[in-house]
Amino acid sequence: MIKQTTVKQKFLLYLILSAIAVAMLFPLLWLLSTALKSPTEDIFTHWLPTQPTWNNFRVVWQTYPFGQYLWNSTIIAVLTVCLNLLFCSLAAYPLARLDFRGRDSIFAGVIATIMIPFQIVMIPLYILTVQLGLRNTYLGVIFPSLASAFGIFLLRQAFQGVPKELEEAARIDACSELGIWWYIMLPSIRPALVTLAIFVFIGSWSDFLWPLIVLDRPEYYTLPLGVAKLASALDLDWRMIAAGSIISIIPVIFLFVFLQRYIIPTETGSGVKG
């Protein structure tokens, strides 16, 4: 009787989770369905395409420089992730492991910046970007995302979970602070680094407002700007817009599928015996 109840509970749980998954995936499935419909089909009458075609993707790719948009977004996102991980980890390590005056006040000030909307600092950032000569450059798009309060907070919490015995052993071996940060701390918090990398990549890849402000040369456009240009040029041809949107989100899906297996808590303390 107990076993039957357990089976029924699992079935009900899987049914609820499946319903939630379908609800979450519905916009993506509708987008793909629209992108596969031929020009003769009404996108609102039939949910599934009666004559699926890949022609919309071919037209979008050949008519507009989506290859260049894809390259620009990739360069910007990868550089943003690398620089964000570097600066956030360098800032989080002393806030987590070193003891100095004002450490808690500095950390509180960093966390307080999370409450400041981007729109408030957008104009000063733009003026600084122009003065530095970074307008219409990759670095100009990356500039506001070199570090983030969320990233510092996430990595600081991860650093605090590393056993002190590993750090003390490294100090006995005359390892410098940078050596401890590089050889001991960073490998120990790999899941946190991967998690932050995914968040930063998705945020950079889908960012629309800041690239729209700092870029006005089409050869530097990112994919969100390219899709917006596509929407305005095709007079709301939803099939082409859907095809362009699918092209823009495919790399993000592949990234998450590839990296999700690394987002697993690791037992850092397993290397400590005593």
Query: DSSP label at 104?
Result: H
For residues 1 and 6, give the distance between their C-alpha atoms in angstroms, rounded to a whole number: 9
Expressed as residue numbers, the domain containing 133 is: 64-263
Residue 224 lies in a domain: yes
Residue 211, pLDDT > 50, answer: yes
Residue 40, pLDDT > 90, answer: no
Q: What is the CATH number of the domain that holds 127?
A: 1.10.3720.10
Residue 107, pLDDT > 80, answer: yes
Domain identity same for 100 and 218: yes
pLDDT 10s digits, 57-83: 998 998 889 999 999 999 999 999 999
Alpha-helix runs per DSSP H in the chain? 2-35, 55-63, 66-97, 103-112, 118-131, 138-142, 149-160, 164-172, 177-179, 186-188, 190-206, 209-214, 223-233, 238-259
For residues 122 and 209, give the distance between their C-alpha atoms in angstroms, rounded to a whole number: 10
Residue 274 lies in a domain: no
Domain identity same for 121 and 175: yes
Domain identity same for 74 and 209: yes
Residue 57 lies in a domain: no
Q: What share of the chain has pLDDT > 90, as a percent?
A: 56
Residue 212 lies in a domain: yes
Domain identity same for 189 and 220: yes
Residue 122 lies in a domain: yes
Q: What share of the chain has pLDDT > 70, as a percent?
A: 92
Domain identity same for 48 and 174: no
Residue 255 lies in a domain: yes
Half-sphere exposure (Cβ direction) of 27: Cα atoms closer than 13 Å: 3
Domain identity same for 77 and 181: yes
Domain identity same for 110 and 201: yes
Domain identity same for 210 and 97: yes
Domain identity same for 119 and 228: yes
Mean per-residue pLDDT for 36-44? 83
Domain identity same for 139 and 184: yes
Mean pLDDT is lowest, of 128-142, 191-205, 259-273, for 259-273
Per-residue confidence at 137, pLDDT binned at 50, 70, 90?
Answer: very high
Burial grade of 270 (CB within 10 A; 0-12, 13-18, 19 or more): exposed
Query: DSSP label at 157?
Result: H
Per-residue confidence at 265, pLDDT binned at 50, 70, 90?
Answer: low
| pTM of structure | 0.85
**Domain count for the chain:** 2
Best mean pLDDT range from 78-82, 171-175, 251-255:
78-82
Residue 254 lies in a domain: yes
Mean per-residue pLDDT for 155-169? 92
Mean per-residue pLDDT for 113-135? 93
Residue 270, pLDDT > 60, answer: no
Domain identity same for 136 and 44: no
Residue 160 lies in a domain: yes
Q: Give the model's pLDDT for residue 158.
A: 94
| Residue whose token pair is 């039957």 | 4
Domain identity same for 167 and 102: yes
For residues 158 and 193, give the distance between their C-alpha atoms in angstroms, rounded to a whole number: 9
